[in-house]
Amino acid sequence: MAKILKAARMEDCIGCGLCELVASRVTKGKLSYSDSLIQIRKVKPGQPRFKAVIDYGQKTDYKEIRDICPANCFEIAEE
Amino acid sequence: MAHHPPTVLHLDLTNQSFEVRTHEDLAPWVGGLGWALALFEEYLEEDPIVFAIGPLSGIIPGCSKTIAVFRSPQNGFLTTALGGGHLARSLRFAGYQAVVIKGAAEKPVIINLDKEQALFKDGAYLMNKETGQVFDLLLSSEGVPGQRSVLATGLAAEQGITFSPLYIDEFFAFPRGGLGTAFSQRRLKGLVVSSSGEEDLGTLKQYEEIFSLLLSKVQGFEELERRGTLKNLEVERKISGVPFENLNEPNFEDQNQLVESLTSPARLSCDGCPVGCLHLVLHDKNYVPYDFESVVALGPLLGLTSKEEVVQLLSIAYRVGLDPTSLGVILAYLTEKEKLSFGDVETYLTLVDALLDGKEDWAKALGLGLDEGVKQLGGAEFALTLGGMEFLPYFNGYASILSQVLSLSATSEENRGFLLDLDLLKGELDPALVVTALVAEEKKKILSQLLIGCGYLSLVFEETATAFAALERVGAGVGHEELEDTVEKIFAQKLSLQKRSGFNPHHVKIPARFFSVPSPHGLLEEGKLRQMIKIYCENYFDAQP
């Protein structure tokens, strides 16, 4: 089974966007939020809650992305 | 020599037009405050609002602030304010290092910004609504979710109340100084910045090194993470520096466990910061942001010490767009002036309604800020205002007051006297030494504001070696001596612009209350504080053109 990055604990996300920035760096060697394999979005206005939209059409199991999260929201697990 | 000329977006509200220009001439000013002051000076006659980020903004952990430079609607003087949220990264990835706003629109407008693009739109549909509703509407209609920063003014700004913040991404703000009001005066209701761009640094390995180094440094702020800036309240209680009931007392009994009960698991970070120091509390199914200043101003300063009461006031201030710190200081003044009872939350809610309504004479007067209100209503001896702005609600000693008298800090994030007072508790208080130490701290702050790092992480970004290394590794290197020389020049420029905006430290009135209640340094002496102002003016301020 292939391993993928999973947003397992998004209830702890503080919306810092470090994962988005690191993802673009490790996958594309550039800095971008909009062209990152992870997009962090608010669940809805008025709430400090976020969801992660992950592009699974590419390799995602980067430990750099998992490890950068200060709230430990990610894990790398089998599909 | 720095080689990082900023790309500046010029917005003309009068003609609803824009221009994007690279300012080669601003390269030596490094970034952030340096660029913002230079642009403010260049367009001084047009009364601009300037936003600027720095070379590290949006790509280095903790460099998440945008600095705003403008004339405060409260006192007309040059004012700086720091704002977080997604704004710094959004400006960077929209391709702008600074934005200059000039003129005024005829009708309320919003502006949608992206790379090489500024769309002016009708903002009428956002008027006369509470802060949360404004963001609901903007977030559902403007920009791409997750790739934008949204700025908006509140209801109080529309009413002309001078102490209305500019909100960022719902819960963040440019607090104090009335930037929301400054927007409203120009009929600018909101600004949406989309961050669709990307960057190729070219020196990725060097960048990764400095990224990791600074990440490790900003990860060490555990108490800030756990309690937010409210952590300061514990410190203040220990040294008896919490103004209670309009500073009739310098401390309060925390029988209701205010700090513990407010410590919330709901928190947010600015972009690129692992700390998450913006804490939120749930009230009537709505989240309300709070910090140390707002809790003290709408709590102990009003004789309120229970979470429920304080949160009611935090909530109404946020909903109607009133700066909570200024509001608390004004309500405390009114309580004493009108001989009302401290600690009566229902009365305070009624007063907020009347203030917003602006029909009664006292409300009209205080809607212009406490300084203006006192001119009409009297009671200057217990009106806790300094230099045209309501005081920061802590009573640590000379340095934190001096910093406000000199208009060097509208927020705790910028007030370098706060910690200096704590350091000075250990030794003899010599006026010249206090001034010298405060100015040295101010220059360190400028270094951070060039980059532009968060003021709550000042230990990291005010260190010259760190600044030097970080700038070099992102390709914006500047010589060590040149960096220090630039800081000196910017300090002088800031003072000069203060002067040109009409500010004079000698003219600042200091309420007698400050000299009748014991501070952690004992009773403060007005003569000593005036001596400090004199020393500062002779050595720094008066020499400026």
Number of neighbouring beta carbons within 10 Å of residue B304: 27
pLDDT of residue B524: 96
pLDDT of residue B463: 85
Provide the b/e sequence for B324-334 (b: ≥16 CB within 10 Å).
bbbbbbbbbbb
Cβ distance of A14 and B269 shorter than 8 Å: yes
Mean pLDDT, range A13-20, rounded to an integer: 97
Chain A nearest C-alpha distance from B175 (Å): 19
> Which chain B residues have a beta carbon less than 8 Å from that of A25?
204, 208
ipTM of the complex in this document: 0.97
Chain B nearest C-alpha distance from A77 (Å): 24
Name the percent of chain B lying above pLDDT 70: 99
B268 touches chain A (CB under 8 A): yes
B274 touches chain A (CB under 8 A): yes
Cβ distance of A14 and B268 shorter than 8 Å: yes
Residue of A nearest to B286 (CA): A46
- Answer yes or no: are the C-beta atoms of B166 and B174 closer than 8 Å: yes
> Which chain A residues have a beta carbon less than 8 Å from that of B271?
16-17
Mean pLDDT, range B132-149, rounded to an integer: 94
> Which chain B residues have a beta carbon less than 8 Å from that of A15?
268-269
> Which chain B residues have a beta carbon less than 8 Å from that of A42?
139, 145-146
Residue of B nearest to A25 (CA): B204
Report domain extents, chain B: 7-194
Cβ distance of A45 and B286 shorter than 8 Å: no
Residue of A nearest to B90 (CA): A33
Cβ distance of A16 and B276 shorter than 8 Å: yes
B21 φ, ψ (degrees, to nearest 5): -135, 140
pLDDT of residue B475: 80
Mean pLDDT, range B443-470, rounded to an integer: 91
Residue type present at position B56: L
Read out DSSP for B316-379?
HHHHHT--HHHHHHHHHHHHHHTT--TT-HHHHHHHHHHHHH--SHHHHHHTT-HHHHHHHH--
pLDDT of residue B1: 40
Report domain extents, chain A: 3-78
- For B379-409, write each residue's pLDDT tens digit: 999 999 999 999 999 999 999 999 999 999 9
Cβ distance of A34 and B147 shorter than 8 Å: yes
Q: Report whether pLDDT(B439) > 90.
A: yes
Per-residue DSSP letter, B248: T
Cβ distance of B286 and A15 shorter than 8 Å: no
Q: Report whether pLDDT(A47) > 50.
A: yes
pLDDT of residue B2: 42
How far CA A21 is from CA of A12, A36, A60, in Å, comes to 19, 7, 14
Mean pLDDT, range B324-353, rounded to an integer: 98
> Which chain A residues have a beta carbon less than 8 Å from that of B208?
25
pLDDT of residue B85: 97
Residue of B nearest to A41 (CA): B146
Residue type present at position B266: A
What's the mean pLDDT when you consider all of chain B? 94
Q: Report whether pLDDT(B3) > 70.
A: no
Chain A nearest C-alpha distance from B122 (Å): 22
pLDDT of residue B401: 97
- Answer yes or no: are the C-beta atoms of B379 and B333 closer than 8 Å: yes
Tell which CATH architecture fits domain B7-194: 4-Layer Sandwich (3.60)
> Which chain A residues have a beta carbon less than 8 Å from that of B146?
33, 39-42, 53
B142 touches chain A (CB under 8 A): no
A34 touches chain B (CB under 8 A): yes
How far CA B489 is from CA of B32, B213, B357, B396, B498, in Å, comes to 14, 29, 45, 30, 14
